[in-house]
C-alpha cells in the first residue's frame, strides 16, 4: 500500500503552486504529490510539465481536468486517483500555501497515534508571519461556520494537540478509509464550506478530527477567489444552507434553524449594503435549486449517524463568534442551552 499523497489543486496560478510543491518536496516525510489542474486558461500545464521533467527523482503526478470543477470537484479528481492507487493517507494543501518541512510528518503522527482520527490539521498562518488564518473550523448554533483564531496574533495559536470540530480544506490530511465511509467532497458546493460539510459528515459518522500545533503552513488568503469578482459571495449564500440541511440532526434542526434563518438574511442585507446584492441573490437562488438534492443526501447522512445528538451539540460552538459582531446584538433574544 502507498502511504501518503498530497493533492495540490491549481487554477491559473502555477507560480504559487510550484512554490507549494517545492515545500512538499522538502518534507521530512515525503509524499507523492498529485497536481490537479482545473482547466487553467494560462500556461499552467506547460509549467507543470516542464517542472516534472526537471524533477524526475520526485514522485509528482499531473492530472488535467477538462473543465473547472471548483475546489470540491478538483480535489475529488485527485482523491479518485489516490484511492485507486491504494494510498493510506491523502492530504490537501492550498496551492497558495507553503508547508513547514515537518507538516506531513506531524499530521501523520496524529492519524497514526489515534485510530479514531479521520482528519488531522494544523496551523495555517498568514505569509506575514504575524497573524493566524485558521487552526481548524467551528460550526456554531447560529448555523455559521468559522475558522478558529482567524486574524489573531501568532502567539494566540493553541499550543497543545487535541480534538476539534473541523479541519480546513486549505491544509489537512485525511485517512483514506473515511471516503469509503462518508464519500468525498460534495461537488454541489463547487467552493466554500465543502470542507466544513466533509468535517461535519465525518463527525456524524463517528470519526474524530484532531489539531496539532506542530504542523504549520503559510497561506496567501483568497488568492483564487479574488480572481473572479462576486465568486465568494455567490458560493457563500449558495452553500451555507446546504451545510445546515445535510448535517444538523433533527433534534437540533429548529433550535439552530431559527438562528440560522435570522443570520442568513442579516448577512444578505449586509451584502446588499456593500454592493454585493446581485451575487448574494444569485447564490440564494442557486441554494434553493440545490435544496432537494441536499435533503436527499440528508436522509442517508442522518440514517448512518453513529454518534449521539448530545455529542454533536457539545462540539458545536455556542456562537456567535467574536468577529460576527452583528449577530452579537441578537444573542440575548435566544436562550443558549
Specify the range with the lowest mean pLDDT, choosing from 172-186, 266-280, 313-327.
Answer: 313-327
State pLDDT tens for residues 10-19: 999 899 999 9
Say yes or no to pLDDT of 115 above 60: yes
The rounded percent of the chain whose pLDDT value lies above 70 is 91
Whether the Cβ atoms of residue 174 and residue 78 lie closer than 8 Å to each other? no
Mean pLDDT, residues 40-47 taken together: 94
Tell me what the pLDDT averaged over the chain comes to.
91
Say yes or no to pLDDT of 302 above 60: yes
Mean pLDDT, residues 152-171 taken together: 94
Helices 194-204 and 231-247, axial angle in degrees (round to 10)? 10
Which cell numbers hold the place of 164?
Answer: 476539534
Say yes or no to pLDDT of 158 above 60: yes
pLDDT band at 264 (very low <50, low <70, confident <90, very high): very high
Residue-range domain boundaries for the chain:
98-337
Say yes or no to pLDDT of 97 above 90: yes
Say yes or no to pLDDT of 56 above 60: yes
Whether the Cβ atoms of residue 94 and residue 222 lie closer than 8 Å to each other? no
pLDDT band at 337 (very low <50, low <70, confident <90, very high): very low
pLDDT band at 51 (very low <50, low <70, confident <90, very high): very high
**Which residues contact residue 108 at a Cβ distance below 8 angstroms, ignoring those fewer than 6 apart?**
4, 29, 89, 120, 173
pLDDT at 63: 97
pLDDT band at 336 (very low <50, low <70, confident <90, very high): very low
Beta bridge partners of 98: 218
Whether the Cβ atoms of residue 69 and residue 42 lie closer than 8 Å to each other? no
Which cell numbers hold the place of 294?
Answer: 441536499
Mean pLDDT, residues 167-190 taken together: 96
pLDDT band at 231 (very low <50, low <70, confident <90, very high): confident
pLDDT at 329: 52
State pLDDT tens for residues 190-205: 989 999 999 999 999 9
Amino acid at each position: 500500500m502507498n502511504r501518503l499523497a498530497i493533492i495540490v489543486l491549481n487554477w491559473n496560478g502555477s507560480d504559487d503552486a510550484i512554490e507549494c510543491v517545492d515545500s512538499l518536496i522538502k518534507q521530512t516525510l515525503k509524499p507523492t504529490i498529485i497536481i490537479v489542474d482545473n482547466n487553467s486558461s494560462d500556461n499552467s500545464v506547460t509549467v507543470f510539465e516542464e517542472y516534472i521533467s526537471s524533477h524526475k527523482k520526485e514522485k509528482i503526478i499531473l492530472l488535467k481536468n477538462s473543465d473547472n470543477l471548483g475546489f470540491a470537484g478538483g480535489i475529488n479528481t485527485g482523491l479518485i486517483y489516490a484511492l485507486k492507487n491504494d494510498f493510506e493517507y491523502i492530504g490537501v494543501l492550498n496551492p497558495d500555501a507553503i508547508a513547514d518541512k515537518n507538516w506531513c510528518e506531524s499530521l501523520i503522527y496524529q492519524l497514526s497515534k489515534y485510530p479514531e482520527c479521520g482528519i488531522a490539521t494544523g496551523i495555517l498562518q498568514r505569509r506575514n508571519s504575524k497573524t493566524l488564518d485558521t487552526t481548524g473550523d467551528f460550526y456554531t448554533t447560529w448555523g455559521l461556520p468559522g475558522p478558529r483564531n482567524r486574524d489573531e496574533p501568532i502567539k494566540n495559536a493553541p499550543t497543545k494537540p487535541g480534538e476539534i470540530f473541523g479541519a480546513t480544506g486549505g491544509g489537512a490530511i485525511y485517512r483514506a478509509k473515511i471516503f469509503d465511509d462518508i464519500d468525498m467532497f460534495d461537488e454541489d458546493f463547487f467552493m466554500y464550506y465543502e470542507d466544513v460539510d466533509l468535517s461535519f459528515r465525518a463527525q456524524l459518522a463517528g470519526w474524530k478530527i484532531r489539531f496539532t500545533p506542530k504542523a504549520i503552513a503559510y497561506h496567501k488568503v483568497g488568492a483564487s477567489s479574488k480572481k473572479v469578482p462576486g465568486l465568494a459571495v455567490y458560493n457563500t449564500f449558495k452553500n451555507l444552507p446546504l451545510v445546515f440541511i445535510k448535517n444538523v440532526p433533527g433534534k437540533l434542526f429548529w433550535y439552530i434553524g431559527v438562528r440560522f434563518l435570522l443570520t442568513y438574511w442579516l448577512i444578505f442585507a449586509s451584502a446588499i449594503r456593500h454592493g454585493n446584492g446581485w451575487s448574494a441573490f444569485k447564490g440564494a437562488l442557486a441554494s434553493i435549486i440545490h435544496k432537494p438534492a441536499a435533503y436527499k443526501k440528508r436522509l442517508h447522512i442522518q440514517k448512518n449517524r453513529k454518534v449521539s445528538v448530545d455529542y454533536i451539540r457539545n462540539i458545536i460552538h455556542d456562537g456567535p463568534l467574536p468577529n460576527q459582531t452583528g449577530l452579537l446584538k441578537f444573542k440575548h433574544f435566544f436562550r443558549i442551552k
